């Protein structure tokens, strides 16, 4: 198995990163596959297990942590754990595809640190925190309390933007989508590295 590339999209909740990631997944020439994360939160709206997330219990999540099954994990909100299984990256590479992640800023930067050469880490910046609040309210999938929790976190997340390879300003969606297309295509056109599997790679690329 020859490992592919890793594309990370991180941003505060409601900034539009999921829309951008879905758009990129439709571009066949990019050969991307979505990294399905594990989460201990409940499914929202019409989310499906094994498609949007692997919805698991906190106990199952902790078991994975103990077994060192995650390449990264985070308690993104209190009692809501999210994490990327190593087996998920291996699954996608075995398909001969590149991995695209929709994960929080801490997780995104962790992937970049572990695999600096093959990862493109993109931060999606919303026009303002005020605009985020409006978008989250429109989405109508969370209680006011949960929305406020997400907004409170957004300011801290915004401050991490300069640590990413690239910042996409999402004030006009069409422009943001085009920019994302170009960025990803450019990253994928760079020569592939020769590492054989995830384990070797972690040792080679990790500092």
Asked if 33 interacts with ligand 5GP (CB under 6 A), we say: no
Q: Which helix (H) or strand (E) holds 29?
A: none
In the beta sheet, which residues pair with residue 120? 7
Tokens of 23: 């758009």
Candidate list 107, 122, 164, 170; residue touching ligand 5GP; CB under 6 A: 107
Q: How far is the CB of 204 from ligand 5GP (least distance, A)?
A: 23
Asked if 82 interacts with ligand 5GP (CB under 6 A), we say: yes
C-beta closer to ligand 5GP: residue 41 or 97: 41
If phi > 0 it is left, if psi is from -120 to 50 it is alpha, else beta; for residue 75 that is beta
E strand intervals along 2-154: 6-10, 32-34, 37-39, 53-55, 70-77, 80-85, 98-102, 119-125
Asked if 201 interacts with ligand 5GP (CB under 6 A), we say: no
Q: How far is the CB of 111 from ligand 5GP (least distance, A)?
A: 9
Candidate list 76, 154, 168, 176; residue touching ligand 5GP; CB under 6 A: 76
Asked if 20 interacts with ligand 5GP (CB under 6 A), we say: no
Q: Which residue is nearest to ligand 5GP (CB)?
A: 107
Q: How many CB atoms lie within 10 A of CB 152?
A: 11
Asked if 4 interacts with ligand 5GP (CB under 6 A), we say: no
CA 121 remoteness from chain centre: 9
How far is it, in rounded angstroms, from Cα 150 to Cα 160? Answer: 16
Closest CA to 121 of 133, 131, 111: 111
Asked if 74 interacts with ligand 5GP (CB under 6 A), we say: yes
Candidate list 3, 4, 83, 126; residue touching ligand 5GP; CB under 6 A: 83
Site residues, ligand 5GP (CB under 6 A): 13, 37, 41, 72, 74, 76, 82-84, 102-104, 106-107
């Amino acid at each position: 198995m020859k490992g592919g590339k890793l594309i990370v999209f991180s941003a505060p909740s409601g900034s539009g990163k999921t829309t951008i990631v879905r758009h990129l997944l439709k571009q066949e020439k990019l050969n991307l596959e979505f990294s399905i994360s594990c989460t201990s939160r409940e499914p929202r709206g019409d989310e499906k297990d094994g498609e949007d997330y692997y919805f698991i219990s906190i106990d199952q999540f902790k078991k994975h942590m103990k077994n060192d099954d995650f390449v990264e994990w985070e308690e993104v909100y209190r009692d809501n754990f999210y994490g990327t299984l190593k087996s998920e990256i291996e699954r996608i590479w075995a398909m001969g595809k590149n991995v695209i992640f929709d994960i929080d800023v801490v997780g995104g930067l962790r992937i970049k640190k572990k695999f600096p050469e093959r990862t493109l880490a993109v931060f999606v910046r919303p026009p303002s925190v005020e605009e985020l609040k409006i978008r989250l309210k429109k989405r109508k999938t969370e209680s006011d309390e949960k929305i406020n929790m997400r907004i409170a976190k957004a300011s801290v997340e915004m401050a991490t933007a300069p640590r990413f390879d690239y910042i996409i300003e999402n004030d006009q969606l069409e422009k943001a989508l085009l920019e994302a297309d170009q960025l990803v295509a450019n990253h994928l056109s760079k020569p592939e590295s020769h590492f054989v599997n995830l384990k070797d790679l972690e040792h080679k690329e990790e500092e």
